[in-house]
Chains A and B, each alone.
Chain A
């Protein structure tokens, strides 16, 4: 089994999930509670990675972060190396690709939080961030957990986008899914089987844990 690729996949998925927490929680909160009319446009953009093939997203991300684009050039000027075909480049693509899998569960969890809870908090002198951390998150955490697990699982399993942005550099951008593809191409079926089985087992454990935890805690604070 390709342990290096497995480790890289886990690292990529963990980093993706972390970035999605930082970006996705505020975005989802805004989506759930804004009264702006053009909210649907942002919702459509967030959901966009679900529909077109991963190669389409990968292609445009490659264009956007490549050496010819302003983003790619300023990144190179700042960090001294290019973004595509690196772990960081992979992370950018992975975050975009998994965005809907984090933001949609987050947003629907936040939408179930009674707006009056937030208003009560404001009237008690607590600001927006304080209210979010002390009221919204504790009430919405099952949905937040779902988002975290889904985006993590999605990031582990992705193939097309990673291949477009990262290529297949061992130890740098060769994730488990690409490694499996390589092993099959090389007719090394037993290695492919090992990695696949490991991924399958891992996915099952994560999902079982999530649903188990939710079953146990989700009804702790029923709507009264």
Chain B
């Protein structure tokens, strides 16, 4: 029964913004073997696309105007029948963006907050279990302001999970931390979430978090679900240009399939010709997507090179981004590459440098136009 969340609703805001929530049971599937837990579904999209609104509607903190939210046999929201369960009735755990720990309570008080209905000894036992599971025993008597970011996050998780919720919702759980800590805690959070015996729905706008934390992915933009499925499948096979951009495919160029054989498609892009894994079904006009980090740059410039996906290229501009350098190339079509600063020095890259760009066929993503 767990994971049987089905939601399809519409939240309208004064001023015209409309958020469509679409989460079907396939959005909360069991994870691939070996990842443990009930699976983490990530709601991913640019800021302001309505991810948090959807999470709040699921929690009962916002009331949609239209639609239906069901969890297992229960109806949490039904606009037509006028049903809307309160957050208290839904039995969910919610981890807020900045954790929303109660500043006037100790760690122990925060974790035990939702267990008032239990007898004192019972409550102690549950809180104690959570404190040891989340490595918080040392700081049990501290107040939230005395805790590090990572400890605060663990308190928020412990506080939500101690009530044995049926669904855990996390709103941008790492964005309250500074960059260095965020990276370290990403893996740690994966570890905690994998230990949850319940389905987890997480909202983020960070691609790295999607890849580390997610099993299933729901890509949103402009208040709508654009695509959903297993994380890698969505990252490798974006359904449209919008999703391709959101999952970080920086080069997107119109192309034309001129030949298909042995599962490989020959595509003309600008004045260049590329080999790519063919799309299922016939498709002539496509968008060709290439991730900047999948482009390899090597010395040498042969106009006549006919080897697979070896593209003679000219450097158009260089942009230093920490820790990588973004290189804009012209190789018959505009191509973007992301390489280390060391590589820039080794290749002695300048404006107008001629070199060769390599892209493996599986890294050339074809999107039906």
Contacts and interface: CB of A to CB of B under 8 A. Distances in A.
A202 interface: no
Interface residues of B, number: 27
Contacts, number: 62
A127 B102 CA distance: 16
A117 B144 CA distance: 13
A120 B98 CA distance: 11
B88 A120 contact: no
A74 B336 CA distance: 84
24 contacts: A116-B98, A117-B100, A117-B102, A119-B61, A120-B100, A120-B101, A122-B60, A122-B61, A122-B88, A123-B87, A123-B92, A123-B93, A124-B114, A124-B163, A125-B88, A125-B114, A130-B116, A134-B113, A138-B104, A221-B103, A221-B143, A221-B145, A224-B103, A224-B145
A224 B144 contact: yes
Contacts of B116: 126, 130
A119 B104 contact: no
Interface string B68-96: 00000000000000000011100111101
A120 B102 contact: yes
Interface of A: 114, 116-117, 119-127, 130, 134-135, 138-139, 220-222, 224
B59 interface: yes
Given A124-B160, A139-B103, 17 more contacts: A116-B100, A119-B96, A119-B100, A122-B86, A123-B59, A123-B61, A123-B94, A123-B160, A125-B88, A125-B91, A125-B117, A126-B88, A127-B88, A135-B102, A220-B104, A221-B104, A224-B145
Which 5 A-B residue pairings sit nearest by Cβ, starting from the closest? A124-B114, A123-B94, A120-B100, A221-B103, A122-B87
A139 B92 CA distance: 25
B354 interface: no
B205 interface: no
Given A222-B145, A224-B144, A224-B145, A126 B102 contact: no
B327 to A, nearest CB: 41
Contacts of B93: 123
Interface in B98-133: 98, 100-104, 113-114, 116-117
